[in-house]
Amino acid sequence: MSFSIGKVFGIKIKIHFTWFLIFALIAWTLAVFYLPSQFPGLSVTIYWIIGTISALLLFVSVLVHELAHSYVAIKKGLPVSSITLYLFGGISEIETEPSDAKTEAIVSVVGPLTSFAIAGISAAAWFVVVAVGLGTAFEAPLFYIAVINILLGAFNLLPAFPLDGGRLLRAAIWQWKKDLVPATKTATKISKIFAYSIIGFGFFSILFINFISGLWLVFIGWFLRNGADQSLKQTIIMQAISDLDVGQIMTKTVITVPPEKTISEAENEFFNIQKHGGFPVVKDNQIVGIITRDDLKSIQDYDKQKRRVEDIMTPRSKLIFLRPNESVADAFMKFSKNNIGRMPVLEEETVVGIVTRSDVIRAVQVKTQESSETKVEREKISLEFS
């Protein structure tokens, strides 16, 4: 669950609820442990103020890191829908895979370089503040941001998905093998080795060194391991359906429901006969909404004779549409991102078809079956999307 806090470069910035947990944890760690040990002699209130400011600056750094990725991606023709700040930092939601290894490398490397640049600027500012003698309240946050951005840039260069280093590794293998899917498989195997190594060291740390640090390492390793699997699945899917258009998989004979029908009529004349999960609602050849079985469930039986389709349908303003020449890969991303069951296909303003999640799943299954993927991989991919 996340919510939007604004836009930068036209990119929606969102905060996941886990961000508040990590923000509070970092501020507490700084105020209670780090700052008193590094800058003794201050009051508890000052430590908390500096700790909170430092935690906020950390996430501003993460946001700038992700904005660098997104800005370069957009310049390279890759659409970016949003950036989300969450428990493990931030992620730019780039909607399509890069078209070549060079683009992947450029988009990936700009993030760590930005972190190192922030570290350099913060270090320079820290030297000035120390020379002028502005005090700990200014020195401490700058010193922390300089150090943490060096660590952030270095950590992101580890060769493990979904970190930037993992994508740089894939770009190098892609350039060598000239094929994205085998490159992703190889990079994924290497990523898992790193992930399991981090998890193993985390458990060792829990037992013999430091429980909290070890626990964090286990979480990070688990995150990297899952990220590698997700990246592989998405790459296989996108490559498999890259040559398909929506017009090739859509249902062209579209049954529509008039908005003035009562809910009882819609149920008896459409849902009970056709067995579809939803129907476009059309008036004067223009789509005005969609009605689904879930909409019907919200209405009591005694109201079905009185209320009309237009009263309970999802209105056009809230619908997401497809075009016949749009790629199935784009449709896949829209279904995954918006968690919806069907999308009308429009040509100009006329409904010419409809595509459901099941249509996309079947397309993925057929195309991956034509490729070299195993049955187990196909089943995992289908289950993940459904």
Distance of CA 83 to the CA centre of its chain: 8
164 lies in a domain?
no
Residue 12's H or E segment, with its range, is strand 11-16
Number of domains in the chain: 3
pLDDT at position 88:
62
- 240, 257, 289 - which closes a domain: 240
pLDDT at position 125:
95
87 neighbors 62 (Cβ within 8 angstroms): no
Instruction: Tell whether 236 and 254 lie within a shared domain.
Output: no
Instruction: Tell whether 22 and 153 lie within a shared domain.
Output: yes
- 240, 259, 284 - which closes a domain: 240
383 lies in a domain?
no
Q: CA–CA separation, 245 vs 326, rounded Å?
A: 6
Q: CA–CA separation, 349 vs 287, rounded Å?
A: 8
Structure tokens at 351: 């409904």
Judged against a pLDDT cut of 60, whether residue 377 lies above it is answered with no
Structure tokens at 236: 């296989």
Q: CA–CA separation, 297 vs 285, rounded Å?
A: 27
**DSSP category for residue 275:** -
Q: CA–CA separation, 165 vs 155, rounded Å?
A: 8
376 confidence band (pLDDT: 50, 70, 90): very low
Instruction: Tell whether 182 and 151 lie within a shared domain.
Output: no
For 64, counting Cβ atoms within 10 Å of its Cβ (0-12 exposed, 13-18 middle, 19+ buried), the class is middle
* Enclosing domain of residue 189: 178-240
User: What confidence tens digit (pLDDT) does each residue in 72-96 have?
Assistant: 989 988 888 788 887 667 777 776 7
Instruction: Tell whether 6 and 56 lie within a shared domain.
Output: yes
**DSSP category for residue 386:** -
216 lies in a domain?
yes
User: What confidence tens digit (pLDDT) does each residue in 129-181 have?
Assistant: 999 988 888 888 999 999 999 999 998 998 887 789 989 998 999 899 888 88
